[in-house]
């Protein structure tokens, strides 16, 4: 799976990075950065947790 973000929906509080520390880094302002790389195994599990945890539904699986 590939993780993507809708930056217009993101509140920049960074909850997702706590759920997916190996997948999501935060920029200097606290907004998440995702690589767009294919994720498998534990990284895909982290990404799924981050999607579920996002209060703004700003994270999604890219096609």
Residues near ligand SF4, by CB under 6 A: 5, 10-16, 32, 54-56, 58-59
* Shortest distance in whole angstroms from residue 42 CB to ligand SF4: 19
Between 32 and 46, name the residue whose CB sits nearer to ligand SF4: 32
CB 11, min distance to ligand SF4, A = 4
Measure the CA–CA gap between 55 and 43, rounded to whole angstroms. Answer: 20
Q: Is residue 1 classed exposed, middle or buried when 0-12, 13-18 and 19+ CB atoms within 10 A define those classes?
A: middle
Least Å distance between CB 20 and ligand SF4? 9
Question: Which value, in Å, is the radius of gyration of the alpha carbons in the chain?
Answer: 10
């Amino acid at each position: 799976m590939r993780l993507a973000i809708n930056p217009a929906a993101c509140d920049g509080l960074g909850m997702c990075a706590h759920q997916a520390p190996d997948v999501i880094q935060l920029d200097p302002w606290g907004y998440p950065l995702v690589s767009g790389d294919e994720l498998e195994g534990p990284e895909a599990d982290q990404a799924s947790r981050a999607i579920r945890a996002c209060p703004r539904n700003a994270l999604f699986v890219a096609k």
